Amino acid sequence: MEAFLVSTGIVALAEMGDKTQLLALVLAARFRKPWPIVWGILVATLANHALAGALGAWVTTVVGPDVLRWVLGVSFIAMALWMLIPDRLDDGAAAKASRFGVFATTAVAFFLAEMGSKRKLPPSCWPRATTHTCGWWQALRWA
């Protein structure tokens, strides 16, 4: 339970000012249908975190704690460098998105936006968080 609560707190902090908040505002302004947008966000977030948790559980069985620590440390540096690159809006994609409906557009857009999100790292570390061998926790210790 401790790992879940700590990860939830970290995710809440990481979410402040995230690009998905802007995406939610854009979708709400464009479609003006809040409930399909909320359900699309929920489905996309649950699918994304389930995938991250499953991938994290699998990776911890294949890769040892020392290698995992280094891989995650390097990936954090890469993520920090990636955050310095501004996002670009593709004008053609916005026109095609509305044919799928509000729910599907929201779910797909959020799923894709969250694929490279910093918030995916805590759920992928849940399987190792209780033993403190996850690179996320080690990175916090190094700081």
pLDDT score of 40: 93
Residues in CB range of 59: below 8 A, 6 or more apart:
68, 124
Residue with tokens 């670009």: 88
pTM: 0.58
Separation in Å, CA 81 to CA 31, 57, 71, 142: 34, 26, 15, 19
Q: What is the DSSP letter of 63?
A: S
Quote the CA–CA distance of 49 and 24 in Å, as a whole number.
Answer: 18
Mean pLDDT, the chain cut into blocks of 10 residues (143 residues total): 81 72 87 92 89 83 87 86 78 58 90 70 53 47 40
Residues in CB range of 85: below 8 A, 6 or more apart:
none
Quote the CA–CA distance of 109 and 142 in Å, as a whole number.
Answer: 35
CB of 28 closer than 8 Å to CB of 94: no
What values do phi and psi take at 118, rounded to 5? -65, -15
